[in-house]
């Protein structure tokens, strides 16, 4: 089936607010490869926005899901619980940073995990205010939008956001915000907008996802922990995009000498099946009254079974170490192109959570135009890429850590060829202008 009729049907049937980065329609997929309805093969460096760290249809994940389907598909854990739910909570309690007593809950989406982390923080502290950071992304629900530090396209036209949510600038030297400036801004928030005794929590992504793959500087994370401890504020680490081996460790917070009070997880937790989680200090997690947390599909037995398999695969296949190897190879290849692609402004990211940022070489201004041209050129060659960043000038690379070496090498060649073609085309246009 050709894509054009499907696109016409999509435009007629689906609300335009559901943006779709490509107009290819999936027919089947395996590991890092995807075939569309026209039979064309693609290498998938988007993986459903960081959902498939273990690849499409990993055999161990699929076997676990099939086994669960043969047993039962749904009971609602709040009506009839099941052992796998309890066991996954035990595993996450042990695997997340810190050796203190922890408890977990399971939900369906990342936005739900964030919403429930805020509920838990408010219940535990008796406070209402929350501080997030510019460029952060925490979901499309109303609380998620309020916390998200990017207006277009997430907040446009949706009216007033929930109150008692404040933003501080994210420390990003590339964009002219130092650690000291970000800390000074927090101090000004406390002086001018919200007293610290009213703040329940800070929420921060250890590496910003949609915001542009900027890692939190270690010194800033330590300073944030000190502020929280001084004022009785909780620290929530949003690990929804960073978790499960993507950064070279199981969780991005494992790179820091800082322990969060609560962590949100989703995306690659269940290898393509919808499950999310909140894990945190036991006394905090127990603050909401019975019935205050949960949801009809929260902790689906199918997603829970998949999550157990994902954790097994990460350990058995050494995917944390594999992420570092792949990321080093990718960044080295990108670095080799700096002299020939003057639009490259930065190459970054821990493990295999990598990004490349593009600016206009003449003005130094962000170049979403070059970014889009590169993404579409790569797509035409069979490589799916995703853009991100507040200015839309960042490409993020989210291939599975299970990608085969030969497929990865093919993808690197496409990246190089596409970058060179687009950069040379820009130079040719400039020369004829």
**Residues designated catalytic:** 137, 238, 267
Task: Answer whether 228's CB lies under 8 Å from 234's CB.
Answer: yes
Q: Please, which residues have CB within 8 angstroms of residue 351's CB and are 6 or more apart in sequence?
A: 245, 246, 247, 248, 249, 320, 323, 324, 327
List helix spans (H) across 259-367.
282-285, 301-316, 319-335
- Of 243, 136, 209, the C-alpha closest to 396 is 209
Task: Answer whether 96's CB lies under 8 Å from 251's CB.
Answer: yes
Distance CA 370, CA 68 (A): 46
Phi, psi of 409 (to 5 degrees): -60, -40
Distance CA 259, CA 312 (A): 24
Beta carbons within 10 angstroms of residue 164's beta carbon: 15
Task: Answer whether 200's CB lies under 8 Å from 233's CB.
Answer: yes
CA distances from 274 to 20, 88, 109, 304, 407 (A): 19, 14, 6, 9, 27
Residues in a beta bridge with 279: 104, 263
CA distances from 135 to 150, 167, 170, 175, 391 (A): 5, 10, 7, 11, 10
In the chain, what is the straight-line distance between the N-terminal and C-terminal CA atoms, in Å? Answer: 41
């Amino acid at each position: 089936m050709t894509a054009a009729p499907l696109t016409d049907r999509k435009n007629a049937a689906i609300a335009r607010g559901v943006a779709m980065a490509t107009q290819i329609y999936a027919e089947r997929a395996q590991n890092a490869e995807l075939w569309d309805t026209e039979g064309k093969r693609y290498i998938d460096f988007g993986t459903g926005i960081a959902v498939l760290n273990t690849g499409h249809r990993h055999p161990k994940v699929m076997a676990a899901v099939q086994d669960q389907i043969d047993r039962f598909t749904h009971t609602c854990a709040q009506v009839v619980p099941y052992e796998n739910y309890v066991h996954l909570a035990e595993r996450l309690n042990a695997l997340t940073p810190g050796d203190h007593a922890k408890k977990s809950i399971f939900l369906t989406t990342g936005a739900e995990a964030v919403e429930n982390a805020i509920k838990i923080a408010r219940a535990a502290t008796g406070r209402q205010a929350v501080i997030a950071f510019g460029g952060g992304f925490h979901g499309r629900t109303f609380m998620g939008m309020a916390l998200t530090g990017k207006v277009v396209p997430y907040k446009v036209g949706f009216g007033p956001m929930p109150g008692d949510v404040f933003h501080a600038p994210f420390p990003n030297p590339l964009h002219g915000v130092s650690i000291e400036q970000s800390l000074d801004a927090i101090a000004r928030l406390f002086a001018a907008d919200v007293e610290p005794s009213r703040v329940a929590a800070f929420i921060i992504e250890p590496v910003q996802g949609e915001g542009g793959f900027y890692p939190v500087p270690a010194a800033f994370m330590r300073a944030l922990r000190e502020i929280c401890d001084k004022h009785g504020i909780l620290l929530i680490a949003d690990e929804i995009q960073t978790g499960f081996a993507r950064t070279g460790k199981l969780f991005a917070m494992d790179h820091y000498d800082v322990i969060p009070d609560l962590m949100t997880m989703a995306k690659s937790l269940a290898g393509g099946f919808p499950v999310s989680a909140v894990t945190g200090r036991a006394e905090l997690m127990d603050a909401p009254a019975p019935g205050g947390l949960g949801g009809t599909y929260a902790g689906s037995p199918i997603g829970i079974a998949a999550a157990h398999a994902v954790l097994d695969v990460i350990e058995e296949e050494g995917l944390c170490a594999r992420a570092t190897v792949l990321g080093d190879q990718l960044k080295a290849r990108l670095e080799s192109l700096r002299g020939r692609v003057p639009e490259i402004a930065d190459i970054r990211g821990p493990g295999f959570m990598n990004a490349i940022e593009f600016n206009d070489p003449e003005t130094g201004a962000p170049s979403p135009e070059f970014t889009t041209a590169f993404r579409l050129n790569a797509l035409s060659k069979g490589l799916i890429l995703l853009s991100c960043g507040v200015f839309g000038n960042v490409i993020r690379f989210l291939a599975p850590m299970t990608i085969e070496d030969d497929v990865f090498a093919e993808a690197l060649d496409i990246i190089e060829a596409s970058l060179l073609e687009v950069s040379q085309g820009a130079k040719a246009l400039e020369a004829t202008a």
